[in-house]
Chain A
């Protein structure tokens, strides 16, 4: 079947197309060139005057895995505010802060998103992450496997194993956990917390292993690069949320010595200690460092006001933040000599000085980082705000008047501590398309997504241009997933099941010798039972695996 999308105004940064009127043809799920000679269009959509982008990709969103499910179970009162009825084609569930899996898929698709990546897949919990994501309809998905506080890696470092041994272990773990990237959370800090350490700065040693976060970042960033994995090491840095952590972040950028590195939810790591309340914005310094260091990419982790829940692998920092829990209940876990997690409900308030300034710091970061290909639009769902707030965030970025109107309502001391009012920049549609589509696909290494040229899968979102960008982005006219029309006027009209994106770097199979011995002696599972097989991902008849090519060096 040949589908023609006629006359839309296309924003396709992957092809350098910035708001040109173009027709798009779709056949067998992919975008194709206009056929030669005589041809019959089976279905045509008149998109004259409409805005056309590829489907949006959320490169950092907590949509699968144990901590998210703990967050769900913890908050029945939040779900009761947002019950979701079943329909003839959709399942029931719940929404708001941490939606049920089915509702996650519907609501992302209804905003024009066609892929989401879980950034914190614990190797030992990877099965759960994939099983949850397998129950998210419409979206493609994938995960970054979390390393850095696992005892196996720390033992390799203490034993002074060479970089090849680290690379083999990282590659093996990506295979076993079916990942497309590698993440580190509070490098070594989750492990240190198990030894009762309560903080771990960049050059502070783990009391048992003598290893520092800097050591861990160095070997993992090197491994990711040498293995040819596209997505640079995904780093949730030290000292999340600690006033003054801006300096740690700057030192982390400096210390990585030019290796590719992605600093995630950087807003939470951009705090100074100036002012009467000893809490200030470090966004300008961080943005300057990002602008200067082309090896660095970031996503923001914008906070938006309201109730949400924070779910993180950073058990050390989440434990320290439990005094801010609202409502006052929280969970931490130490997990399987592998990692940990902490779940703390938060209510960000615009009349709270710290929260108000966090809001401003995130926006300053968006507006001061110059290259839209190296910054990504996230709220670190659900940690800064639920993903459903993206259209509001896009309006804040694209509409200076609106932004300043909101700014004038937040805590007055926070208004004084931010330069936001003096920043004129407004994001363009093309820049939004870069951050949420082409840039994200390029960063992760999705070779046939995030663009609208022939050969790409037909993940396409069509909007009605509206000066109110929130209204525009919260209700697309059409969303196509792999060429199938799944959303009309912001409502799901049909269901499709997305694929799971992975990358399969090479490793020396002899890596399993050391691992088998370690599993037998210290872990609670046999090595063979740990590895996730391809069957597990596909046997439900809906799931599939898509392996993307590695970077050629």
Chain B
């Protein structure tokens, strides 16, 4: 039995790297720093260690050979999930390039709200250490932040010391749209977050008014979607008076059509605020390799991870290259599902030939043609994963000897077998 400290997590997206882990054989127990997201992800037991073809245990070599044979004469295979580490994505993109596949990260439909805004007008963003040391006002839009990342407040807002703030408990937390599910946003001095609630799908209207108020445009209405304009004016004034305001949202939580316009309005509002003071966006993400997929696909192809190689070169389309669309429309003719982090994230139902490169412990309603259990980056092998703020790639540690291959090993082997 050994204990390992300063363990980084690839699961929570906020770069927690102070976990203490106890390893007993292949059993992991989280001793310190756990949370509702990280603890079950680290403690997930290994079940399968043997690959299967049509439900029968086979050697890794045989499983790889069968996967390659299923992909051999396909016209438009889709590689979905894309939940792995940097080396896993490298292998995935090499395979996709060779077989002319579509690459589609499973969180892309949510992330698309950010990418469309970014690619249309850009933004001004910040990272977690700046939040920790500078943020005096945090506006949380349409997102239950503590459910997204339970340790966010403890690590980045209620830290006891900050370089540029006398007293971090004076930080002003404002929720717009969705109310928090718990009390983690309450300051150590007892001050509760301000909450202005509205239905999530009303956010476009509310945010548009807020931006107008920041710009000093007159608003005739006295209320918008149940929020008084006077209250919104107070938020606008707070952001304008802040030294280093931060606006955060989870793109996937803005679950309505054209939510990219909300991200864009927020981002343009932030730019306006920077005419006189400082303010930055902080998009929440980084779960199950989504930032990793987009970063690696970015430098390998120029585009984020919803890109196809079917014409011999990368083509990005944030709508048409959606795995679910391709399956429903009958365009795809094989599915590879890559998910090294989460056993509950199984491939979408399909009758197509299906290959799953998945975390050991995954169970299926319908047995895939090929299942290759792989190790989890940061547990079974070393690797790299990006956190939510896209700048920091964390170095993941190997914690135990499970003998499970890495995603990268398996995908490289399939590519070699093609």
Contacts of B119 in A (CB 8 A): 73-76, 329
Closest Cβ–Cβ distance, residue A279 to chain B (whole Å): 24
Contacts of B164 in A (CB 8 A): 208
CB-based contact A529/B302 at 8 Å? no
Residue A496 at the chain B interface, CB threshold 8 Å: no
Closest Cβ–Cβ distance, residue A320 to chain B (whole Å): 11
Contacts of A74 in B (CB 8 A): 118-119, 122
Residue A226 at the chain B interface, CB threshold 8 Å: no
CB-based contact A125/B86 at 8 Å? no
**Cα(A528)–Cα(B6), bound, Å:** 8
**Cα(A151)–Cα(B164), bound, Å:** 11
Contacts of B124 in A (CB 8 A): 319, 331-333
**Cα(A127)–Cα(B392), bound, Å:** 8
> CB < 8 Å: which of A91, A94, A334 contacts B126?
A334
Given A100-B299, A524-B155, A529-B17, A331:B395 Cβ within 8 A: no
Residue A13 at the chain B interface, CB threshold 8 Å: no
Residue B196 at the chain A interface, CB threshold 8 Å: no
CB-based contact A334/B122 at 8 Å? no
Which of B126, B127, B309 has the most chain A CB atoms inside 10 A of its CB?
B127
Contact count band on B: 35 or more
CB-based contact A333/B302 at 8 Å? no
**Cα(A536)–Cα(B299), bound, Å:** 18
The B-contacting residues of A in range 341-362, CB under 8 angstroms, are 343
Closest Cβ–Cβ distance, residue A158 to chain B (whole Å): 11
Contacts of B392 in A (CB 8 A): 124-125, 127, 336, 524-525
Residue B90 at the chain A interface, CB threshold 8 Å: yes
Given A83-B314, A194-B278, A73:B118 Cβ within 8 A: yes
Q: Mark A303-331, 1 if CB is under 8 A from B, else 0.
A: 00000000000000001000001001111
Contacts of A525 in B (CB 8 A): 15, 17, 392, 394
Residue B304 at the chain A interface, CB threshold 8 Å: yes
CB-based contact A127/B295 at 8 Å? no
**Cα(A83)–Cα(B6), bound, Å:** 43
Looking at chain A's contact residues, is the secondary structure mostly helix, strand, loop, or mixed? mixed
Specify the chain A residue showing the minimal Cβ separation from B392. A124
Residue A276 at the chain B interface, CB threshold 8 Å: no
**Cα(A131)–Cα(B88), bound, Å:** 13
Contact count band on A: 35 or more
Specify the chain A residue showing the minimal Cβ separation from B243. A196
CB-based contact A73/B391 at 8 Å? no
Residue B301 at the chain A interface, CB threshold 8 Å: yes
Specify the chain B residue showing the minimal Cβ separation from A527. B6
Residue B274 at the chain A interface, CB threshold 8 Å: yes
Contacts of A334 in B (CB 8 A): 125-127, 130, 280
Given A127-B393, A336-B392, A524-B129, A135:B300 Cβ within 8 A: yes
**Cα(A151)–Cα(B6), bound, Å:** 23
CB-based contact B161/A522 at 8 Å? yes
CB-based contact B313/A85 at 8 Å? yes
Residue A456 at the chain B interface, CB threshold 8 Å: no
CB-based contact B295/A69 at 8 Å? yes
Contacts of A94 in B (CB 8 A): 301-303, 313-314
The A-contacting residues of B in range 1-29, CB under 8 angstroms, are 6, 8, 15, 17-18
23 A-B pairs with CB atoms under 8 Å apart are A69-B298, A69-B299, A72-B298, A74-B118, A83-B314, A85-B312, A93-B313, A102-B300, A124-B392, A128-B391, A151-B163, A194-B278, A195-B278, A208-B164, A319-B274, A331-B118, A333-B124, A333-B391, A334-B130, A334-B280, A336-B127, A522-B133, A539-B382
Q: Residues of A at under 8 Å CB distance from B?
A: 66, 68-69, 72-76, 79, 83-86, 91-94, 98-102, 122, 124-125, 127-128, 131-132, 135, 151, 193-196, 208, 319, 325, 328-338, 343, 521-526, 528-529, 532-533, 535-536, 539-540
Q: Residues of B at under 8 Å CB distance from A?
A: 6, 8, 15, 17-18, 86-87, 90, 94, 97-98, 115, 118-130, 132-134, 155-156, 161-164, 243-244, 274, 277-278, 280, 294-295, 298-304, 309, 312-316, 382, 384, 390-395
